[in-house]
Amino acid sequence: MNDIARAGSLAPELNTHQDLEAFWMPFTANRQFKDRPRMLARAEGMHYYTPEGHQILDGTAGLWCVNAGHCRKPIVDAISQAAATLDYAPSFNMGHPMAFDLASRLVELAGDPFNHVFFCNSGSEAVDSALKIALSYHRLRGEGQRTRFIGRERGYHGVGFGGISVGGIPGNRKMFSAMLPGVDHMPHTWNLKEAAFSRGQPSWGEHLADELERIITLHDASTIAAVIVEPVAGSAGVLVPPKGYLEKLRAITEKHGILLIFDEVITGFGRLGKPFGWQYFGVAPDLYTVAKGVNSGAAPMGAVFARKGIYETFMQGPQAAIEFAHGYTYSAHPISCAAALATLDVYRDEGLLTRAAELAQHWEDALHSLKGVRNVIDIRNIGLMGAVELASRDGAPGMRAYEAHCKAFFDEGLLVRYTGDIIAMSPPLIISTNQIDEIVARLRRVLEKID
């Protein structure tokens, strides 16, 4: 039986032997899921397997993180060896060799102008860490009045209070009254009328960066600590920056002494065909956050990269003073570090951090072949990220994409993400061109069947 046949007609009832009640699931419609569970039991390479053994083609690298593919042996071995050798070691006032090795490897991968890395355990923590670094940096330089942050509508920066404050996804903010004070937002950059079906970076929209100048004038530059954006907005549905836009943000922030933070939790580690998104765009921020792909999703880890001069600004005062009162019990956890070191080897040995550049044209052509399929109102792509936007049903926004997601999983053995009425995809970087075609063929069959 071939993969597709085996994946066909997955019966959701098969999972009902298990009690699903106690797990309060994150970012999930709990009752809807528990009515129709989509369970994953095992994974290997480009595939997940359900508890019943059905094979699912992973079109999303888990949640944008499994860049090296699933259960890669060198990563598995490194994790088990670390677990058996040094299960845990504190990073406050103590150290372990893997943490220092990993920081050196990461800084080497980044190259100029980045020379230090701060570790944490997730993208949300990386964002909060970066915001705190920015505030302290200004204060240490005698500019403690720089306390404001500027984010962007439709930005996703995790779920800490810092992240939701600078983030711009209304549903992630509305229930939580306490936010960082003094945050403002630029408009997002997507415009269906002007830029639908753009291939790669749209040529419309550079002028939207001028909004930053307007916001800076409103608050006065001297009050602003940092601007934070995702180079490509991922969670909001792959919003690709217009040509010239990021360059303009860089020029404006530099002119006003404001730090520019790129949130590279999704764009980091090869997603765009370079190790980091800033290298792809040729625009270097002052700080950037990573997580997910740092160890191919195999263990929780996040990090903040700092431009030369930032760490050095903190290294003042008495030798015995803690320079930055921030960190986590699991910062640089040995198992996460081991996983990351092994992942970086896999990336290097298999050329995975530049592989998206080789596949990008095929990916783009394959995705855009869905133009004209019913309900498709936009297709966007860059590197190995892609999105297909569907028209929303009257009075039921999000339902069409949710149904497509379920149908893809149950009928076609395909894992895709959905957000609103957007289907988002970001396959592992080991994907073959045949598997790209397979993702698109399966998605086409799904979309043709959905009203």
Which residue from 417, 436, 440, 442 is in contact with ligand PXG, where contact means CB under 6 A?
417
Residues 142-181 that bind ligand PXG (CB under 6 A): 156-158
**Cβ nearer to ligand PXG, comparing 116 with 157:** 157
Considering the complex, what minimum distance in angstroms separates the CB of residue 84 from ligand PXG? Answer: 26
Tokens of 96: 């372990």
Helix (H) or strand (E) holding 342: helix 334-349
Considering the complex, what minimum distance in angstroms separates the CB of residue 404 from ligand PXG? Answer: 15
| x-marked contacts with ligand PXG along 191-230 as a string, rule CB under 6 A | ---------------------------------------x
| Whole-number Cα distances in Å, 344 to 75, 78, 191, 211 | 9, 12, 37, 38
Q: Which stretch binds ligand PXG (CB under 6 A): 117-125, 241-249, 383-391, 443-451?
A: 117-125
Q: Which stretch binds ligand PXG (CB under 6 A): 106-114, 116-124, 340-348, 408-416?
A: 116-124
Other C-beta atoms closer than 10 Å to the C-beta of 432 total 12
**Cβ nearer to ligand PXG, comparing 164 with 450:** 164
Question: Closest-CB residue for ligand PXG?
Answer: 123
Burial class (CB in 10 A: 0-12, 13-18, 19+), 268: buried
Q: Are strands 422-425 and 417-419 parallel, antiparallel or unpaired?
A: antiparallel
**Cβ nearer to ligand PXG, comparing 26 with 142:** 26
- For the chain, the residue count is 451
Cis omega before residue 113 (within 30°)? yes
**Cβ nearer to ligand PXG, comparing 63 with 107:** 63
Tokens of 31: 């009752």
Considering the complex, what minimum distance in angstroms separates the CB of residue 266 from ligand PXG? Answer: 5
Q: How far apart are CA 27 and CA 413, in angstroms?
A: 22
The candidate with the shortest Cα–Cα distance to 229, out of 137, 154, 325, is 154
Q: Is 255 helix (H, G, I), strand (E, B) or coil?
A: helix
Which residue from 57, 102, 127, 436 is in contact with ligand PXG, where contact means CB under 6 A?
127
**Cβ nearer to ligand PXG, comparing 91 with 235:** 235
**Cβ nearer to ligand PXG, comparing 124 with 331:** 124
Report the amino acid identity of residue 429: L
Q: Which stretch binds ligand PXG (CB under 6 A): 73-81, 121-129, 361-369, 396-404?
A: 121-129
Do 149 and 183 touch, CB atoms closer than 8 A? yes
Q: Are strands 114-120 and 148-152 parallel, antiparallel or unpaired?
A: unpaired
Residues 262-291 that bind ligand PXG (CB under 6 A): 263, 265-266, 291
The answer to whether 295 contacts ligand PXG (rule: CB under 6 A) is: no
**Cβ nearer to ligand PXG, comparing 151 with 202:** 151
- The values of phi and psi at residue 115, to 5°, are -135, 0
Q: How far apart are CA 143 and CA 119, in angstroms?
A: 26
Contact residues for ligand PXG (CB under 6 A)?
63-64, 122-124, 127, 156-158, 230, 234-235, 263, 265-266, 291, 417, 419
